């Protein structure tokens, strides 16, 4: 196929075979002076769009015989000739306004709800990891969320929700991914957070009501629990303690393969611990409904970042109350047994986790179905086979910091001097930065970077203590002026190395969920 043949398509043209895409990309490169990404070639309405790179900057290219579409973009146009055909080549910055126009042309660049499909959240704190994520997703059966960043992470990286969305869009275009993706407005705590993410086009909203959890309810005396429950705003909850007792503790609750009887004490603890959580989640959900103005969206409710494990009775209480109050949600993240520390494998008894996960799954089937979400899910390789075997499609894996760690792995290979400086700085910052994370690493137990040759530096990313120290200090590193420019310049210049490392690492995450011996179907 020639460029003119591919250009002359009135509808969205199919993606090109790899060899043809590379050939046409080379020809476009000669026309534009850009290093063109072959998979980005996309044609519609007799206009060819592509993404290219010049030095360390990416640009959008548009080749057309008319200005019907290209005139909508801000860029620099020039006349070019191709096989005696007079065409216009427009080269544009990859900015927010041009991204917004692209979304009006290509529906596959617009985030959408994923439903109950087995899914993975691919957090990208740098805005550079999406190509690698997609390369891994292509070899997987997971549905991807490609724009995902919490409000806390936005503050620490200096990004806005819109910038996170736009960075994902350019990665999707670069890789020619047309199978759809979600966008997770992660760990939202206020209605203001909701509004900023609605404006940016997010479709998946993770409510974080952790500030409203009463962790003392786990050990409070019964009379203290009664006092706390009596003090709940029952008008806001639209019920009463007496009604709650009749609904949840007057008879066994059938969970399919087994039933459970919730005692009065268990219900008191559940209501005292999570009553305000339910009220806050309902408030956020109803605000979100109004803000979305009938546009489709999905809700995830998260109580994973709490001090105490979510018991079976507590999960039942949360699910029952949210459903009674009209909340619709697609996934829920309990605080599971064991430890889900950042960037390292699960710490705990796997048999105990499997038993507990199966019970939580029974609740999700009874009150849903909805997916069980694995938060702080990066690198929890020992539990993936369990979650996959038990949950089938009813699972959502949420990752974030592991893509940053792979960026450090790439820097270790590409720029050893910078890597050593970052490690030294992270060791200094860890004592402060660990405060808002669940980690147990000790700087004194890190492998000695000074004892490693340059070609051995990346092995530090396989060390438990080093991974956590480097993981939680990302904000300090990215805000540290001496590092920031060199950090991004290194990754942009070596983007193939970074994408390869991300793709390999995420392939390890996704492979256990692609096993065929599922015991639960998507139905």
**Are 282 and 327 a contacting pair, CB within 8 Å?**
yes
Mean pLDDT of the chain, nearest integer: 96
Output the six-digit token pair for 268: 């008191």
Rounded distance, CA 26 to CA 36, Å?
7
Q: 253-281: per-residue pLDDT in tens?
A: 999 999 999 999 999 999 999 999 999 99
Question: Quick one: 253 and 362 in the same domain?
Answer: yes
pLDDT of 520 higher than 50: no
DSSP 217-270: GGT--HHHHHHHHHTS-HHHHTS-HHHHHHHHSSSPEE-SS-EE---HHHHHHH
Rounded distance, CA 360 to CA 405, Å?
31
Question: Quick one: 365 and 258 in the same domain?
Answer: yes
Domain boundary among 108, 139, 167: 108
CA-based nearest residue to 152, from 189, 200, 192: 189
Contacts of residue 413, Cβ cutoff 8 Å, sequence gap at least 6: 457, 458, 494, 497
Rounded distance, CA 123 to CA 188, Å?
15
Q: 358-416: per-residue pLDDT in tens?
A: 999 999 999 999 999 999 999 999 999 999 999 999 999 999 999 999 999 999 999 99
Domain boundary among 108, 137, 156: 108
**Are 42 and 66 a contacting pair, CB within 8 Å?**
no
Question: Quick one: 434 and 364 in the same domain?
Answer: no
- pLDDT band at residue 519, thresholds of 50, 70 and 90? very low
Higher pLDDT, 269 or 516: 269
Rounded distance, CA 148 to CA 161, Å?
9
Question: Is position 218 within any domain?
Answer: yes
Q: 481-514: per-residue pLDDT in tens?
A: 999 999 999 999 999 999 999 999 999 999 999 9
Q: What are phi and psi of 255, to 5 degrees?
A: -110, 25
Longest dimension (CA), the chain: 88
- Element housing 4 (H / E): helix 3-7
Contacts of residue 304, Cβ cutoff 8 Å, sequence gap at least 6: 333, 334, 335, 336, 340, 373, 375, 376
CA-based nearest residue to 194, from 50, 292, 77, 271: 292
CA-based nearest residue to 511, from 387, 412, 427: 387
Q: What per-residue confidence (pLDDT) applies to 436?
A: 86
**Are 322 and 329 a contacting pair, CB within 8 Å?**
yes
Question: Is position 442 within any domain?
Answer: yes
- What domain range includes position 485? 402-508
Question: Quick one: 363 and 425 in the same domain?
Answer: no
Q: 345-354: per-residue pLDDT in tens?
A: 999 999 999 9
Question: Quick one: 330 and 422 in the same domain?
Answer: no
The predicted model gives 433-459 an average pLDDT of 95
Domain boundary among 108, 126, 160: 108
Q: What per-residue confidence (pLDDT) applies to 254?
A: 98
Question: Quick one: 13 and 61 in the same domain?
Answer: yes
Rounded distance, CA 497 to CA 254, Å?
52
Question: Quick one: 11 and 87 in the same domain?
Answer: yes
Tell me how many domains the chain contains.
Answer: 3
Q: What per-residue confidence (pLDDT) applies to 410?
A: 98
Question: Is position 207 within any domain?
Answer: no
Question: Quick one: 91 and 27 in the same domain?
Answer: yes
Question: Quick one: 238 and 282 in the same domain?
Answer: yes
158, burial (CB in 10 Å: exposed 0-12, middle 13-18, buried 19+) = exposed
Question: Quick one: 406 and 457 in the same domain?
Answer: yes
The predicted model gives 55-77 an average pLDDT of 95
**Are 366 and 404 a contacting pair, CB within 8 Å?**
no
Q: Give the residue numbers annotated as catalytic, written as ranges.
A: 186, 300
The predicted model gives 286-301 an average pLDDT of 98
Q: Model pTM? A: 0.96
CA 289 remoteness from chain centre: 22
Question: Is position 217 within any domain?
Answer: yes
Question: Is position 63 within any domain?
Answer: yes
Question: Is position 153 within any domain?
Answer: no
Question: Is position 196 within any domain?
Answer: no
Q: 30-42: per-residue pLDDT in tens?
A: 999 999 999 999 9
Question: Quick one: 221 and 363 in the same domain?
Answer: yes
CA 189 remoteness from chain centre: 17
Name the 3-class secondary structure at 208. coil
Question: Is position 273 within any domain?
Answer: yes
- pLDDT band at residue 521, thresholds of 50, 70 and 90? very low
Question: Quick one: 329 and 422 in the same domain?
Answer: no
Output the six-digit token pair for 140: 């997987």
Could you tell me what percent of the chain has a pLDDT over 70?
Answer: 98
Q: 8-18: per-residue pLDDT in tens?
A: 999 999 999 99
């Amino acid at each position: 196929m020639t460029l003119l043949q591919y250009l002359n398509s009135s509808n969205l043209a199919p993606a090109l075979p790899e060899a043809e895409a590379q050939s046409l990309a080379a020809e476009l490169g000669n026309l534009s002076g850009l290093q063109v990404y072959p998979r980005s070639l996309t044609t519609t309405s007799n206009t060819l769009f592509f993404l290219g790179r010049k030095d360390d900057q990416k640009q959008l290219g548009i080749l057309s015989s008319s200005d019907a579409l290209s005139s909508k973009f801000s860029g620099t146009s020039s006349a070019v000739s191709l096989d005696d055909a007079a065409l216009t080549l427009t080269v544009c910055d990859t900015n927010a306004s041009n991204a917004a126009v692209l979304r009006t042309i290509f529906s596959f660049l617009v985030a959408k709800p994923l439903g109950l499909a087995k899914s993975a959240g691919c957090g990208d704190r740098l805005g550079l990891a999406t190509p690698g994520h997609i390369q891994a997703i292509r070899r997987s059966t997971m549905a991807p969320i490609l724009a995902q960043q919490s409000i806390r992470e936005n503050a620490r990286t200096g990004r806005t929700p819109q910038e996170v969305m736009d960075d994902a869009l350019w990665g999707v275009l670069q890789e020619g991914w047309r199978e759809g993706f979600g966008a997770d407005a992660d760990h939202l705590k206020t209605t203001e957070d909701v509004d900023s993410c609605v404006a940016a086009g997010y479709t998946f909203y993770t409510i974080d009501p952790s500030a409203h959890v009463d962790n003392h309810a786990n050990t409070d005396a019964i009379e203290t629990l009664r006092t706390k429950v009596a003090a709940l705003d029952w008008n806001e909850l639209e019920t009463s303690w007496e009604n709650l007792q009749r609904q949840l503790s007057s008879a066994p609750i059938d969970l399919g393969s087994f039933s459970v009887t919730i005692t009065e004490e268990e219900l008191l603890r559940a209501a005292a611990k999570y009553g305000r959580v339910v009220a806050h989640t309902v408030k956020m959900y109803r605000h979100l409904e109004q803000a979305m103005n009938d546009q489709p969206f999905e809700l995830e409710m998260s109580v994973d970042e709490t001090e105490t494990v979510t018991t079976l009775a507590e999960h039942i209480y949360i699910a029952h109350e949210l459903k009674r109050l009209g909340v619709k949600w697609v996934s829920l993240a309990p605080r599971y047994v064991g430890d889900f520390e950042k960037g390292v494998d699960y710490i705990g008894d796997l048999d105990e986790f499997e038993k507990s996960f199966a019970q939580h799954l029974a609740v999700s089937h009874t009150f849903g179905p909805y997916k069980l979400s694995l938060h702080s899910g990066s690198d929890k390789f020992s539990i993936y086979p369990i979650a996959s075997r038990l949950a089938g499609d009813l699972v959502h894996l949420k990752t974030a910091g592991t893509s940053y760690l792979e960026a450090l792995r790439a820097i270790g290979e590409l720029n050893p001097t910078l890597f050593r400086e970052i490690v030294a700085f992270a060791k200094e910052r860890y004592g402060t930065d660990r405060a808002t994370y669940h980690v147990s690493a000790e700087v004194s137990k890190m492998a000695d970077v000074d004892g490693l040759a340059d070609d051995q530096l990346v092995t530090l990313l396989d060390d438990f203590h080093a991974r956590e120290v480097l993981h939680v200090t990302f904000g300090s590193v990215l805000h540290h002026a001496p590092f920031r420019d060199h950090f991004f310049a290194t990754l942009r210049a070596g983007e193939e190395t970074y994408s390869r490392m991300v793709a390999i690492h995420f392939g390890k995450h996704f492979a256990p969920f692609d096993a065929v011996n599922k015991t639960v179907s998507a139905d």
